[in-house]
Amino acid sequence: MTEEQRIVLRNADNIDPEKIEDYLQTGGYQGLEKARSMSRADLIAEIKKSNLRGRGGAAFNCGLKWSFVPADAKVTYVVCNFDEGEPGTYKDRIIVQKDPQQLLEGMAICGHAVNAKQGYIYCRGEYPYVVDLLNRAIDQARSKGVLGDFSIEVRMGGGAYVCGEESALIESIEGHRGEPRFKPPFPGVSGLWGKPTVVNNVETFANLPQIVLNGAEWFAAIGAPKYPGTKVLTLTGDVENRVFIEVPTTATLREVIFDFGGGVKNGSKFKAVQVGGTSGGFIPELLLDTSIDFDSMRSIGATLGTGAVFVMDETRDIVDIVRRIAEFFKDESCGKCNPCREGTFRCCEIMTRINKGKGTAQDIDNMTRLGKVMERVCLCGLGQASPSPILTTLQYFKHEYERKLLIS
Ligand SMILES: Cc1cc2nc3c(=O)[nH]c(=O)nc-3n(C[C@H](O)[C@H](O)[C@H](O)COP(=O)(O)O)c2cc1C
Ligand code: SF4
């Protein structure tokens, strides 16, 4: 059986998150000290070699992303994506609440690698109490002088899901309406106020101090070779233990749900699990032995995404759940591009019709075609990923749709 392995949560409940002294006693800021003794190029090479891949959804190689920042850029920025707007996801909040200094140290390590003097944490608007904690942590780090000439400020999001998309987030920090930008250029070349900017997720930054301290090989040897390390997961829905865990990426979904989650609530039968948040695919029982790493999840049409694990028991109405998700995407589409603005609206319309028992087989064909087009042509990940719950449930749970069509 897979055991929990804690890297980013190693200090959770062992230190007082309000006291920088506690963090320092656990070796805190030694990773930054070591990073600063390295050249920028060597530090980037080390992170690239560790194969740390982004924990915010797209799983891009972290060191490779940093290497896109021009070495001769005069002004650069580091931005931490703490928008965490995905329903059912709270892993970044836990990471920050349990150990805020670790995030600051990770950002400062990145600051050294890309020659940035300023960092911003873009925090979900619904977490005002975490903003206060972060500000107190920043004050303590400043007065201890551990951050050197690297400054960090917190910015609060306004509650739009799309603002988690890195270029919409940058627009939002700049004070504009949060809409994704056309890419290229990517933020590494032209980001905040047109300057090269690294945007990484909380969990990605939080891994950095231990990677620098213990070396790239140490990290690369943990979990799945192509997506090494651990992943913080949050278990929700019809599961006995609604907990957060940190496991090596070789753990399987079955282990996560049944060993750590204690199985389906009240001894009920398992029906499906949605991994990665609202845009994640729905996975049936026969695929539960798939490991949670990004590539294995993708191979079954699912996504690891944010690490949200939403379990559904046999009583759940899949079509109704997908209809609600379609409504969520229709509401959260920023409207900038046609395929998403119109597509999410049509998907919601068709799902509502089917759910009411008034849908036809033609509706299913139309929605499948529409979803496949949206995956390819929408401007940002919101529109591109929004058909995934529809397409995966049509793949694995089509009988539930057909049952509703039959009674029409
Ligand atoms: C609609 C949408 C919402 C997103 N929300 C988040 C979020 O809340 N947190 C996050 O880290 N990444 C989010 N992302 C992914 C970011 O665009 C970006 O890939 C990520 O912050 C990069 O960090 P990483 O490389 O460390 O994963 C979102 C993407 C999309 C398309
Ligand atoms: S895909 Fe949707 S959320 Fe993204 S830019 Fe287009 S309309 Fe906006």
Atom number in ligand 1 closest to CA 83: 8
pLDDT at 259: 97
- Give the mean model confidence (pLDDT) for residues 368-383: 98
Query: Ligand 1 centroid vs 57 CA: distance in angstroms?
Result: 6
Domains and CATH numbers, the chain: 20-221 (3.40.50.11540), 224-313 (3.10.20.600), 318-406 (1.20.1440.230)
Q: Is residue 408 predicted with pLDDT exceeding 60?
A: no
Ligand 2 contact via 50 beta carbon (within 6 Å): no
How confident is the model over 323-345, as pLDDT tens digits? Answer: 999 999 999 999 999 999 999 99
pLDDT at 302: 82
How confident is the model over 65-97, as pLDDT tens digits? Answer: 999 999 999 999 999 999 999 888 999 999 999
128 preceded by a cis bond (ω within 30 of 0): no
How confident is the model over 3-43, as pLDDT tens digits? Answer: 999 999 999 999 999 999 999 999 999 999 999 999 999 99
Identify the residue whose C-alpha is closest to ligand 2 atom 6. Answer: 337
The dihedrals phi and psi of 372, each to the nearest 5 degrees, come to -70, -35
pLDDT band (50, 70, 90) for residue 406 = low
Q: 80 or 1: which carries more pLDDT confidence?
A: 80
Which residue out of 110, 165, 344 has the highest number of ligand 1 atoms within 8 Å of its CB and is therefore the one to mutate? Answer: 165
The dihedrals phi and psi of 403, each to the nearest 5 degrees, come to -60, -40
pLDDT at 87: 85
Summary mean pLDDT of the chain: 96
Range 90-93 contact pairs with CB under 8 angstroms and sequence separation of 24 or more: 90/234, 90/244, 91/203, 91/232, 91/233, 91/234, 91/244, 91/306, 91/307, 91/308, 92/201, 92/202, 92/203, 93/124, 93/127, 93/130
Phi/psi region, residue 383 (left: phi>0; alpha: psi -120 to 50; beta: rest), is: alpha
Q: Is residue 231 predicted with pLDDT exceeding 50?
A: yes
How confident is the model over 305-328, as pLDDT tens digits? Answer: 889 999 999 999 999 999 999 999
